[in-house]
Amino acid sequence: MAETARSTVRITTGGILSGLRGLGPIAIFVVPFGIAYGVAAIERGVTLDQSVLMSLLIFSGAAQFAALEFWGGPIPTISLLLTVFAVSARLILMGATLSPWLSQLSRPRRMLALAVLSDLNFADSYIALRRGDGDIGRLVGGGLGLCGAWIAGTAIGAIAGASLGDLDRFGIDVIMATFFVATLIGQWEGKGNLVPAVVAAAVAVIGLYTLPAGWNILIAALAGGLAGGVLHRGR
């Protein structure tokens, strides 16, 4: 890939600080989501220590909320694992997309970057990587900031409980949607992206109502990639 050839892939302190600064304002809005999870976890019978430890080790809001549906009584392990896999399967695609850069790092550094990989720091870092900035520290720093905010929110929610009231009134969901729309616009490369984007969006929306939780994202990504491959074949 041309971008990686022009720069040395590395993790630097400056890159980590850049990631923290870049996603710091967004990380603030992750806290209420963590609070919502903490509240839901306590209501399901998960202890404070278990809630915080889960957020630290898993760091996946969607997967953690899905896991709560199986909490209590005998846990159907296979169903739980399949659900969490489906919800988190998009991370496979993210890892594959970042592989041209991550594969140049040592295994410990690669694992560090992947441990804090999420939708937000992936979107933020991928743009920088494609522009020739080979510092994976931006991915790590952004992920650490988001993970810290998620853990803090979980702890607050687990301690304060339902007394915090309805968090939707803060419009956090709008903030996240706006961030992703702005990111997508930044990656727009012309009309050639239109058909794959439309196909992926259509499949994601249809799958939201027809597929198990999380599978719509994976199938939509594959459909968009297939549409792009067919469209650009032979060019």
Q: What is the pLDDT of residues 88-103, one digit of tens each?
A: 777 888 899 999 999 9
Query: Same domain for 23 and 128?
Result: yes
197 domain residue, yes or no: yes
Number of domains present in the structure of the chain: 2
Query: Same domain for 45 and 103?
Result: yes
Q: What is the pLDDT of residues 103-136, one digit of tens each?
A: 999 999 999 999 999 988 998 899 889 888 899 9
79 domain residue, yes or no: yes
Query: Same domain for 106 and 202?
Result: no
41 domain residue, yes or no: yes
Could you tell me the residue range of the domain that residue 210 belongs to?
188-235
Q: What is the pLDDT of residues 31-51, one digit of tens each?
A: 888 888 888 888 888 899 999
Query: Same domain for 151 and 220?
Result: no
| 181, 186, 192, 197 alpha-carbon torsion, rounded to 10° | -20
35 domain residue, yes or no: yes
The model's pTM: 0.72
222 domain residue, yes or no: yes
Q: Which residues contact 13 (CB under 8 A, 6 or more apart)?
A: 137
Query: Same domain for 79 and 142?
Result: yes
List residues bridging with 10 in a β-sheet.
Answer: 135
Measured in degrees and rounded to the nearest 5, phi and psi for residue 100 equal -60, -30
Q: What is the pLDDT of residues 140-187, one digit of tens each?
A: 999 999 999 999 999 999 998 766 666 666 665 565 566 556 656 655
Question: If residue 131 lies in a helix (H) or strand (E), which one and from where to where?
Answer: none
Q: What is the pLDDT of residues 1-42, one digit of tens each?
A: 444 444 589 999 999 999 999 999 888 888 888 888 888 888
233 domain residue, yes or no: yes
Query: Same domain for 37 and 77?
Result: yes
Query: Same domain for 107 and 222?
Result: no
